[in-house]
Amino acid sequence: MIGAGAWAMLAAASLLLGAVVALTVRVPPKVVGNVMGFGAGALVAALAYELIPTGHVSDWLIWVNFGIGALVFYGLDSLLERRSATGGGAGVSIALGALLDGVPESIVLGVGMAVGGTVSIGFFVAVLVSNVPESLSSTADLRRTHSAAWIYRLWAAIVVCSGLAAVLGYALASHLSNVDGRYVQALAAGSVLTMLADSMMPEAFSRGGRPIALLTALGFAVAAYLTTLD
């Protein structure tokens, strides 16, 4: 269980890496979009090959949980948008937005370790890559109104929360009767896929333009290959 938290925190640590880069280097928006597109493709592959394996597609409860995960993300994200529109708490909204991405991803890592005994390399790399552009773009906005120390504390807190989410995922998959992890995985998959369609892919395209389509395909191919190494 502790190992699951450690792996999730290691993956989420790329949020801190993105923050360091954004605070020390002026990263062109197109570069951020390119990395974001690659990460989105990697996450799509991880969802397809890791979270909803073909052997379980006939189980209707899988899709019920998938839909619940999608609705949870959509509802919370809508609340964040309304909060931002009223003007206050921009920093808090950004932090919560990162958590909405990171928590389901970390739960998936924890569930995967509980079910398979090892971390999924493909999904781990996908999370690692997708975190960097998110913190790059967010930190670029935050640095206008907050100190570097405040920003580092913010992302460090999110890293810790990601570790706790992985521990939760591990515990759910290990201790809930008649649930071998696939339902928790499906719930998290719905949340992550909704996040991709709602924010990550549109943001990548707005920053990088049409070449993002090719980078997304490349990210998918790389992550799909990495799943064969698990």
pLDDT value at position 88? 43
Point out the residues of the chain with pLDDT beneath 50: 87-88
Q: What φ, ψ does residue 186 adopt, rounded to 5°?
A: -65, -40
CA atoms within 13 A of residue 19's CA, in its CB half-sphere? 23
pLDDT value at position 230? 61
pLDDT value at position 73? 85
Q: What is the pLDDT of residues 128-145, one digit of tens each?
A: 877 887 788 778 778 877
pLDDT value at position 60? 84
> Containing H/E element for 174?
helix 148-175
Q: Which domain holds residue 17?
A: 2-22+30-227
CA atoms within 13 A of residue 201's CA, in its CB half-sphere? 17
pLDDT value at position 85? 59
Find all residues with CB under 8 Å of 18, minimum gap 6, and list them: 131, 132, 133, 134, 135, 136, 139
* pTM listed for this prediction: 0.77
Number of structural domains, the chain?
1
pLDDT value at position 179? 52
| CA-atom Rg of the chain in angstroms | 17
Query: Rounded distance, CA 84 to CA 174, Å?
Result: 38
pLDDT value at position 211? 93
